[in-house]
Amino acid sequence: MSKVIVVTSGKGGVGKTTTSASFAAGLANRGHRTVVIDFDIGLRNLDLVMGCERRVVYDFVNVINDEATLKQALIRDKSDNNLHILPASQTRDKDAFTEEKVGKVIDELREDFDYIVCDSPAGIEKGALMALFYADEALIVTNPEISSVRDSDRILGMLSAKSQRAIQGEEPIKEHLVVTRYSPNRAESGEMLSLDDIQELLGIDLIGVIPESEAVLQASNSGVPVIRDEQSKSGQAYQDMVARFLGEDIPMRFLEAEKKGFLKRFFGA
C-alpha cells in the first residue's frame, strides 16, 4: 500500500521544501519508488532545490486541468531512478485545485509509487489544505521558536479536522515532529526553545532534529538535496530521520552544544 505524506508547517520559510526534497531522496535511495509533489503554486521552489528546473515542461496544474498527462509532467531525478518530481506551475492559478481533481492525481500516483510526498505551501489557506487533505502521515516542520511552534499547532489542528481521514472518521493522520534549523548552542543559552519545550507544547513524537548548517544553502544552490551531502551534519540528520520513518530505532544526534576546547576557551575564540 502506498502512503501519502504531507510536509507542512503553517509558518513560512522553516524548511518544508528542504525537508521534502531530502526526505523523498532518502526514501528513494533506500529503494522505494517515491514522488514528491510541489503544492506551492506560483512560487516553484522544489524543482530548484532538486536541480530539475530546466526540465520542467508541464506541471501539476497542467495535469489537474487535463492539459498534460501525469507521464508528461513527472520529471525523473537525474541520479536516482526511484525518484520523481511533480513540479508546481508559475501560473498563479491556485483555484485549479479542487479536492476531487487533486484526489484523481493522487490515486493515479498511488498505482506507481510507494511514497507520495507533498511539499505544502506555508499558511493555512487552500494550498496548504489541499496538500494535507489526502495525507496518511505528516511531517510537521518546526523551528525552535514560539511563532513557528504556534503555527505548527495550528496546522496540527487542521490535520485533525480538515483532512479526508478526519472528515471520514478514519484512523487519524500519523504525525511526526521535525525540528529544523536547530542550534544546540542557542538552545543551551536559552535563546531558542529546547526540544523538550517544543515536544511538550505540541505533544507529538519527534522523528528528526536537523541542525542549522551552511551545507543546506550550498546544497540547494547546487540543486542537490542536502541528504546526499554525506559529510554534512544536516545531511546525516536527514538520513537518520528517513531511517526512523522506516522503522529503525536510531538515537538523535547533534543535540549537544560543541564543547569549546581548553585552548579555545582560554583564548576566548
Partner 1 sequence: MGTSTKTAGETLDKQEKTAAVELKGAVFTLPVLKLHSTDLPAIEHELKVHLARGLNFFKHAPLVIDLEAIDEQQGRKLDFTAIVSALHRMQLFVVGVRNTNPEQAKRALAAGMAVLKGGIAQEDISSGKNTSAPPPATSKTLSAETTKVIHQPVRSGQQIYAKGCDLIVLSSVNVGAEVIADGNIHVYGSLRGRALAGVSENANARIFAQVMEPELVAIAGNYQVFDEPNASNLYGKAAQIHLDNNRLVIAPI
CB 202 within 8 A of CB 140: yes
Question: Rule CB under 6 A: is residue 234 a binding residue for ligand ATP?
Answer: yes
Instruction: Figure out which of the listed residues 94, 101, 110, 150 binds partner 1, where binding follows CB under 8 A.
Output: 150
Distance CA 90, CA 43 (A): 6
Residues between 202 and 221 that touch partner 1 (CB under 8 A): 203
Show the beta-strand stretches assigned E in the chain.
3-8, 34-38, 75-76, 83-86, 115-119, 137-142, 174-182, 205-211
Residues between 152 and 171 that touch partner 1 (CB under 8 A): 153-154, 156-158, 160-161
Q: How far is CA 238 from the centre of its chain?
A: 11
Three-state secondary structure of 17-36: HHHHHHHHHHHHHCCCCEEE
Instruction: Figure out which of the listed residues 63, 135, 216, 242 binds ligand ATP, where binding follows CB under 6 A.
Output: 216
Residues between 148 and 187 that touch ligand ATP (CB under 6 A): 180-181
Stretch that binds ligand ATP, among 7-15, 24-32, 166-174, 251-259 (CB under 6 A): 7-15
Question: Rule CB under 5 A: is residue 120 a binding residue for Mg ion?
Answer: no
Distance CA 55, CA 46 (A): 13
CB 11 within 8 A of CB 122: yes
Residues between 69 and 128 that touch ligand ATP (CB under 6 A): 121-122
Q: How many residues bind partner 1 (CB under 8 A)?
A: 12
Instruction: Outline where 139-258 has alpha helix (H).
Output: 146-162, 164-167, 184-188, 195-202, 214-221, 233-245
Stretch that binds Mg ion, among 9-17, 85-93, 159-167, 186-194 (CB under 5 A): 9-17
- The site map against Mg ion for 38-57 (x = CB under 5 A) is -------x------------
Q: How many residues bind ligand ATP (CB under 6 A)?
A: 21
**Site for partner 1, rule CB under 8 A:** 124, 150-151, 153-154, 156-158, 160-161, 201, 203
